[in-house]
């Protein structure tokens, strides 16, 4: 009888462990992305993508992402600051709205503020930073470029 109970408990625990390894479903308004790049604090700067890296959500090189995640995970990432890493997480669709015309090298020419400042109008001078809910990361070969 003890063998039967022990076997059932072992099977139940192994089923729970297998369930814990599954990834969470992606909400309809989000996309799961994996992006190579470098970190500085909680800001992640996207690096160049290679041909063998899949991804339907285009994050151009040089784009800054604000990382959100559990404190333990963020501390692990912070320990690798200055090294090339790849983060995986959820990004809301529609956050990325580029204005202007791309001219290459991550540079865009866009509209400026109205002449005379205008009354009752405000100009949003804050950069368009995308938020990513980090689920995991992995180290990559190489180092980050410094300015």
Residue 140: exposure state from Cβ atoms within 10 A (0-12, 13-18, ≥19): middle
- Strands 30-40 and 43-46 turn out to be antiparallel
**Per-residue pLDDT at 38:** 93
**Per-residue pLDDT at 48:** 80
- Domain 26-96+127-141 has what CATH class? mainly beta
**Per-residue pLDDT at 61:** 83
Q: What is the mean pLDDT of each run of 10 residues along the chain (147 residues)?
A: 59 51 76 90 85 63 90 94 91 71 72 60 58 93 76
The 10 Å Cβ neighbour count of residue 22 is 7
**Per-residue pLDDT at 131:** 92
**Per-residue pLDDT at 62:** 84
**Per-residue pLDDT at 21:** 46
Residue ranges covered by each domain of the chain: 26-96+127-141
**Per-residue pLDDT at 135:** 94
pTM above 0.85, yes or no: no
Residue 29: exposure state from Cβ atoms within 10 A (0-12, 13-18, ≥19): exposed
DSSP 44-94: EEE-PPPTT---SS---TT-EEEEE--HHHHHHHHTTTTEEEEEEEEEETT
Bridge partners (DSSP) listed for residue 56: none
């Amino acid at each position: 009888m003890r063998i039967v109970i022990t076997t059932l408990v072992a099977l139940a625990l192994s089923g729970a462990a297998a369930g814990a390894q599954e990834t969470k479903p992606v909400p309809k308004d989000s996309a799961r992305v994996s992006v190579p790049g470098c970190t500085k604090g909680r800001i992640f700067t996207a690096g160049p993508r290679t041909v063998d890296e899949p991804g339907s959500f285009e994050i151009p090189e040089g784009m800054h992402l604000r990382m959100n995640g559990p404190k333990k995970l963020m501390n692990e990432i912070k320990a690798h600051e200055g090294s090339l890493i790849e983060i995986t997480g959820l990004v809301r669709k529609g956050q990325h709205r580029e204005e202007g015309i791309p001219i290459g090298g991550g540079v865009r020419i866009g509209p400026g503020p109205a002449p005379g400042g205008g009354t009752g109008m405000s100009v949003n001078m804050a950069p368009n930073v995308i938020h990513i809910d980090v689920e995991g990361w992995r180290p990559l070969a190489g180092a980050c470029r410094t300015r």
